[in-house]
Amino acid sequence: MMDVQVVARRTGRRVLMDDLAGRIGRGALLPGTRLLSTQALAKQYGVSLQTAHNALQELTRRGLLVRRHGDGTFVNPTPPPPPPSSERMVALEMRSDGAIWGAFLGSLLRGLRELDVHPLLTDSTGLDALAFADLPVVRRAIASRPAFAVVEHYGVAELLRRESPSTHVICLDRGVVGKPDYDQVTVDLEEAGRLAVEHLLGQGCRRLGVYHLATDADPAAPPVAADRLLLAGVDAALASANLLPAARLGVPWDQDGRGRIREFLAQGLTIDALLCPYDHRAVEFIEVAADLGVGPPADLAVLSAWNTPYADAYGLTSLDYRYDLIAAKCLKLIGEALAGKREYDHWRCYRVPPQLVVRRSCGETAAQPSHSGGAA
């Protein structure tokens, strides 16, 4: 009785697909076997001609069938290989937009192919990180219990560790706080702050403003976790030169900063350089300054590599966060685990040194390396 109830709830298309796929899997339909015509299958399963056509089309897409024009539909004589075991799967959660993320994802996928590891990609472009837990594609990735996961957001890392404890999670999020039970591979933010300040001081700048993201709308609110690390490097480099920031401006991550920038500029504070962790925030500052007839600082150092077209368009000094090195480190960790050279037993953090990119003129750039070495 239970079997009848389950079948009754399935659509005709699903019944047809499941039955044919099952018979192929059991060997009841051998490779090269010619199927009944679409019309005959539609009559046999009690579905419309269009439903039968769609079912055969989906099984063809999966590689179980091949369709020969004018000859019919056949069981694939060279069926696709069985799906990889979870030991050879890696779940990927990250955005794919922009040159930087596109290049990073491309190098990661090429490396995974060389390791013979099967990727399950969740493209998080434009999605709210807080809603990831409700996405069906994320749920399917978790249900597959992948051996590895490389994720952009720490919320997804924590979800995987809760619901798939055996998964070796590598998180790229710069804002991870404390020592969670997954690996972290990210840029050395303190080194980024030091590198930018040392460059600006070398250019003769002495009154440095800082524009960062804050935890809330209170003007005295502390910076968000990732910016806190970066600003620690900024403060250390300024202290070495016996200087303090000339001004600080914090704006919540989910708010437009233009109003606060106007208030900031209305104070008449004089700064000769602005340190800003995000390209689009630096552009806000430039545009508001232009509206008010106040020239932007001589050298805007942008401590982000998310949107380098902004940096190119405005000639901003920025930092390359070396996603090529981050991808190489992720692949090395996965390769070592597959080879049994490393056990996944506790949190480790690997920090990649950034490079400073100085825009000179007409898009000409020059990269200046960090003082520190590569990722451990």
Q: What is the CA radius of gyration of the chain?
A: 27
Task: Please give the single-letter amino acid code of residue 359.
Answer: R
Sequence-separated (6 or more) residues with CB below 8 Å from residue 317: 196, 199, 200, 299, 300, 301, 302, 311, 356, 357, 358, 359
Spatial separation of the C-alpha atoms in residues 376 and 374, rounded to whole Å? 6
Least trusted range by pLDDT, from 48-52, 123-127, 203-207, 223-227 = 123-127
Mean pLDDT score, 211-225: 83
More confident residue, 326 or 281: 326
Q: Quote the mean pLDDT of the chain.
A: 80
Q: Does domain 2-75 have CATH number 3.30.450.30?
A: no
At residue 197 the predicted structure's pLDDT band, cuts being 50, 70 and 90, is very high
Q: How confident is the model at residue 190 (pLDDT cuts 50, 70, 90)?
A: very high
Q: According to the model, what pLDDT value does residue 361 have?
A: 43
Q: From 1.10.1040.10, 3.40.50.300, 3.40.50.2300, 3.30.70.140, which CATH number describes the 189-320 domain?
A: 3.40.50.2300
Domains 86-187+322-352 and 189-320 share a fold: yes
Question: Residue 249: which of 298, 206, 205, 282 has the closest Cα?
Answer: 282
Taking the CA of residue 206 as centre, how many other CA atoms within 13 Å lie in the half-sphere pointing to its CB? Answer: 2
Rounded mean pLDDT, 15-30: 84
Q: Report, in this order, helix, strand and coil percent for the chain, each rounded to 5.
A: 45, 20, 35
**Does the structure show a pLDDT above 50 at 226?**
yes
Q: Give the 3-state secondary structure of 69-133.
A: CCCEEEECCCCCCCCCCHHHEEEEEECCCHHHHHHHHHHHHHHHHHCCCEEEEEECCCCCHHHHH
349: pLDDT strictly greater than 90:
no
Q: In terms of pLDDT, which residue wins out, 27 or 345?
A: 27
CA–CA separation, 376 and 216 (whole Å): 35
Range in 145-154, 180-189, 260-269, 296-305 the model is least confident about: 296-305
Q: What is the pLDDT of residue 373?
A: 44
Secondary structure of residue 299 in the 3-state scheme: strand
Q: Structure tokens of 150?
A: 């490389």
Residue written as tokens 């699903």?
14
Nearest CA-CA partner of 241 in 207, 191, 190: 207
Instruction: Tell me the average pLDDT across 248-252.
Output: 87
Under the banding of pLDDT at 50, 70 and 90, the label for residue 374 is very low
Residues 6+ positions from 89 with CB-CB distance below 8 Å: 117, 118, 119, 120, 144, 146, 147, 148
Residue spans of the domains in the chain: they are 2-75, 86-187+322-352, 189-320
Contacts of 304 (CB under 8 A, 6+ apart): 276, 277, 278, 279, 318, 319, 321
DSSP code of 34? B
What's the average model confidence in pLDDT over 260-284?
85
* Highest mean pLDDT pick, 26-35, 312-321, 342-351: 26-35
For 21-28, what is the mean pLDDT?
Answer: 82
When mean pLDDT is compared across 57-61, 134-138, 155-159, 328-332, the lowest value belongs to 134-138
Q: How far is the C-alpha of 262 from the C-alpha of 281, rounded, in Å?
A: 13
pLDDT band at 102 (very low <50, low <70, confident <90, very high): confident
CATH 3.40.50.2300 for domain 86-187+322-352 = yes
Taking Cα atoms as reference points, which of 317, 255, 316, 265 lies closest to residue 290? 265
Query: Hey, which of 30-34, 119-123, 153-157, 265-269 has the most confident mean pLDDT?
Result: 30-34
pLDDT above 70 for 112: yes
CA distance 376 to 373: 8
Query: How much is the pLDDT for 132?
Result: 58
Q: What is the pLDDT of residue 141?
A: 72
Residue 179 CA to residue 276 CA, distance in Å, equals 27
CA atoms of 321 and 356, how far apart (whole Å): 9
What's the mean pLDDT in 25-43? Answer: 89
**Percent of the chain residues past pLDDT 70, beyond the cut:** 81
Ranked by mean pLDDT, which of 8-17, 59-68, 174-183, 352-361 comes out on top?
59-68
Give the pLDDT confidence score for residue 153 in this predicted structure.
83
What is the arithmetic mean of pLDDT over 365-371?
A: 55
The dihedral over CA atoms of 7, 8, 13, 19, expressed in degrees to the nearest 10, equals: 20
